[in-house]
Amino acid sequence: MCGIIGYVGKASAAPILIEGLRRLEYRGYDSSGIAILNGSNTIELRKRSGRLDNLKDLLLENPATGSCGISHTRWATHGEPSDENAHPHSDQSGRLAVVHNGVIENYKILKDRLTEEGHEFVSQTDSEVLAHLIGKCYDSSTVSDSKDRLVSAVREALPQVSGTYGIAVLHADIPEFLVGARLGSPLVLGLGRGENFLASDVGAIVTHTKDAVYLQDRDLVCLTPDDFNIEKIDGADSTYEVSTVDYTPEQAEKGEYPHFMLKEIFEQPTSIGNAFRGRLVDDQASAILGGLGLTPRELRDIDRIVLCGCGTASHAAMAGEYIIESLARIPTEVEIASEFRYRNPPLDKNTLVFVISQSGETIDTLAAMREGQRKGHRVLGIVNSVGSTIARESDGGSYLHSGPEIGVAATKSFTSQVTVLALLGLLLGRMKHLSVEYGQNVLKELRELPAKVEQVLLQSERIRQIAIKYNDVPAMLFLGRQFHYATALEGALKMKEISYIFASGHAAAELKHGIIALVSEEVPSVFIMPKDSVYEKNVSTLEEVKARKGPTIAITTEGNTELEELADEVIYIPPVMECLSPILAAIPLQLLSYHFSVERGCDVDKPRNLAKSVTVE
């Protein structure tokens, strides 16, 4: 994780870098720092632990001027969040600075070797080793041109490290010049007029330019204000294309909302619509997912599906498993990406593997995709972030078209992922046994979703009252069956992530196999129990909780008033066909965790210890 941004141009670098870091904070926010080359060829280094505001304050006290610089916002891996461990890191000479996103796995060996040679380290980070290593290669180089010298130093150093990196490097000897390289961590080159940028994500530079080059693994890039050059780290040619960034800076702003999370929850009528727009085929009562790149024959031959993801994406996958099996009767399995990549699961030629990721950069999901591809399988992506590594390296797939999701807790990406998986289920189902009437009904229900989501959102205030009433509870249980087993897991994850309340999600009938021991007057149980095929079973489980004095919060279908008598709190969702109900039921759970978080005074958009895009193992 971590976010990096570099600037080389004619403007003052510090405000551009700070603004870019603000947009990258979702990648980590333990500390931040900036290195700027001033007019007298000295590096001005400023770094501070804690939030970006601490760095801003430091820059007010002690400004750093210059028009070439690099910067970093950190999610700690090696070494606690502190001023010393904040990036940028300097080499032994103090004339070279590096920012790094990734993990240097052999840093200990390298550090010991460099220490024996007389290098002195001031941090506990793996990244500082990279600065010393590149600096050492630079200082011992015989290349006379200083730019070539820095490039050759980076080329000599990087093959010595194992692990992952996205880096930006500057040297005090070389005004108006940056070097970047990547392996396993994202890096984007932004092309301006008389200025160029390097960043972990286009979101950091979208206010300055819409022209970007998504660098590939093992690319090395040199930037001056007016030029750039991309080659492979080993000197081989690299091919690249300039893309146009497809979102506006306003999309990445909170607007009238107090938090990104709330804005993104309220965007769901639109984002769900965007997920199915142009993909519904009325005359075939089916869906079209052109990006899959599979012929009808290939689709028909699929006899097993594996859905892979992490966190919220894995919960969307689980909802997808139930949806695809019910609509298409194709055996579907969910694999946590971090397990899949090392488990060596058997796949055969008719197995279709999907990796699901909002960011398209989650390292475990990326590795799972590459593992599937290494075995010769076609791996498709369900991704939100256009141009992300998974989007580029997958063998096809579907975009979510949700727009940027900035709040660390995933919300609109979940409902869009489930929507796309429902389209997949419909498409495959209609190639098999699913009737025209059923297909038409799915299309109708999909089209009705945005209006129904609007109705759920109207209950935000009611849900806030529930959060006020229960906001000091020590733990919560989330219970659902069938399609809502996944919803329960997602509801519990949201609550843990942003409210820091211990919460666990379960298949409701499992209650009596152990979880019921946790039921008490202090521990509310949230039941996701629309009026569906397992409703009566859920009522029995709710009764079991009530009998043990556990407070109950039920999410059920509008018109089902009997729960008013049974549950302590009731939240309603509009009637919806069973296989699409996780999309609606997730929304009150998102609002519940949001209001709990606000009431408990937590940092909703930047919960402690988390980062939105997990690009380290």
Give the shortest CB-407-to-ligand G6P separation in angstroms. Answer: 9
Selected binder of ligand G6P within 49, 268, 338, 358 (CB under 6 A)? 358
- Whether 2 is catalytic: yes
Burial class (CB in 10 A: 0-12, 13-18, 19+), 563: buried
Minimum distance, C-beta of residue 452 to ligand G6P, in the bound complex (Å): 24
Burial 294-318 (b: 16+ CB within 10 A, else e): beeeebeebeebbbbbbbbbbbbbb
280 binds ligand G6P (CB under 6 A): no
614 lies in the site for ligand G6P, by CB under 6 A: yes
Site string for ligand G6P, 383-412 (x = CB under 6 A): -------------------------xxx--
Give me 325's structure tokens: 């099996």
Q: Does 312 bind ligand G6P (CB under 6 A)?
A: yes
Cα gap 205→247, rounded to integer Å: 11
**498 lines the binding site for ligand G6P (CB under 6 A):** no
Other beta carbons within 10 Å of 331: 13
- Contact call for residue 365 and ligand G6P (CB under 6 A): yes
Region of 15-23, 78-86, 129-137, 308-316 interacting with ligand G6P (CB under 6 A): 308-316
CB atoms within 10 A of CB 460: 17
Looking at 2, 137, 310, 602, which residue is catalytic? 2
Task: Specify the stretch interacting with ligand G6P by CB under 6 A; choose among 93-101, 102-110, 304-312, 552-560.
Answer: 304-312
Q: Please report whether residue 310 would count as binding ligand G6P according to CB under 6 A.
A: yes
Residue 357 touching ligand G6P (CB under 6 A) = yes
Sole binder of ligand G6P in the list 73, 359, 394, 581 (CB under 6 A)? 359
Contact status: 313 vs ligand G6P (CB under 6 A): yes
User: Which 408-467 residues touch ligand G6P, going by CB under 6 A?
Assistant: 408-410
What per-residue string of b and e applies to 251-289 under the rule 16 or more CB within 10 Å gives b?
ebeeeeeebbbbbbbbbbbbbbbbbbeebbeeeebbbeb
Instruction: Name the catalytic one among 47, 111, 136, 612.
Output: 612
Q: Are the C-beta atoms of 165 and 185 separated by less than 8 Å?
A: yes
Residue with Cβ nearer ligand G6P (365 or 541): 365
Q: Which is nearer to ligand G6P, 569 or 605 (CB)?
A: 605
Distance (Å, rounded) from C-alpha 402 to C-alpha 419?
11
Name the residue with tokens 């549950």. Answer: 567
Q: Are 421 and 448 in contact (CB under 8 A)?
A: no
β-bridge pairing 3-8 and 68-74: antiparallel
- Cβ nearer to ligand G6P, comparing 208 with 494: 494
Cα–Cα distances in Å, from 97 out to 41, 130, 169, 382?
A: 13, 10, 6, 37
Map tokens 């797939």 to a residue: 397
136 catalytic residue (yes or no): no
96-104, 249-257, 267-275, 354-362 -> range binding ligand G6P (CB under 6 A): 354-362
Judged by phi (left if over 0) then psi (alpha if -120 to 50, else beta), residue 339 lies in alpha
Q: Which is nearer to ligand G6P, 224 or 402 (CB)?
A: 402
- The answer to whether residues 585 and 573 touch, using CB atoms and an 8 Å cutoff, is yes
Options 69, 311, 439, 582; binder of ligand G6P; rule CB under 6 A: 311
Question: Which residues are known to be catalytic?
Answer: 2, 612
Chain positions contacting ligand G6P, by CB under 6 A: 310-313, 357-359, 362, 365, 408-410, 610, 612-614
